[in-house]
Each structure stands twice: as structure tokens, then as C-alpha cells.
Amino acid sequence: MSGDGAAGELSFYESIGGHATFEALVARFYDGVRADPLLAPMYPQEDWEGSEWRLRSFLEQYWGGPSTYSETRGHPRLRMRHQPFAVTPTARDRWLAHMRAAVLSLDLPPLQEGLLWDYLERAAHAMVNAPDTGRDPLSPPPGRSLL
């Protein structure tokens, strides 16, 4: 949905408040992720700010904001960038729960909220690259201990 509309027409990015809105969305999302024992280890612990910048810049560009993400990192290649991580249905659902809380915190009009949420939900489903194993994802593999 990126790109400029007709002359005088606001992009989705602009219509929901631009950078400030995406900054709030991503900050709220990462507040949840940092405290999530399944998701937090998937992120570079020493670079939370970098993770926030990448997600915020990607979303801003996708929705018609600045093209800083592609100028800095190239094509998004979302599936390739997520491949090193076991994105299971459980991880997806946890990601979506934190993102849902973040989207709801924006208090957007229903149509805009629906458009944003629809994209985020479809993108999250597309990132799944591993099955759930049927065991607690926070426990060690059979025969191994955490210590």
C-alpha cells in the first residue's frame, strides 16, 4: 500500500498521524516483546533500538511514509530476514497479541485500524516457518537442562 496518492490525497501514513503514530505503535509493541520469554530471545538484546528502528521504518515506508528503510537496508525480504528464527504458530500468536495491544493503544478510527490490523495479521501468518513441537516452547529440549 505504499506510494503517493493523487495530488492532495493523504497517504495512509499521513492520515493516521505519520511518524508519531508509528513511533507510538512500535514502542508499545516492543514494551510487550521485551517482557515476553518466548519472543525476547529472538531479538538482539544489545540492540533493541535498532530493532525498533527497523520495524518502524519498514512500516512507515509500507504505508506511504519516507523510504528510509529501503535506502538503508535494501528490499525488505521479510521471509528471508526471519528465516534464522523458528517462527512457530505459537510465536506468531504471541507476536500478534503484543501487536494487537499496540494497535488498540493508538485509538484509530475503525476503518484505519482494520486496514492496519489486516496487513499485520497477514504478514505475521506469512512469517511462520516452523511447526510447533507440541512441547512447552520455554522448556529445554528433551534430555537437556537449562543449566
Where is the binding site for heme, in residues?
A: 125
- Binding site members: 125
Give the span between the Cα atoms of 43 and 63, in whole angstroms.
24
Give the span between the Cα atoms of 14 and 60, in whole angstroms.
10
Task: With CA atoms as reference, report the closest residue to 126 among 68, 83, 66, 74.
Answer: 83
Q: Give me the amino acid identity at 72.
A: T
Give the span between the Cα atoms of 28 and 117, in whole angstroms.
15
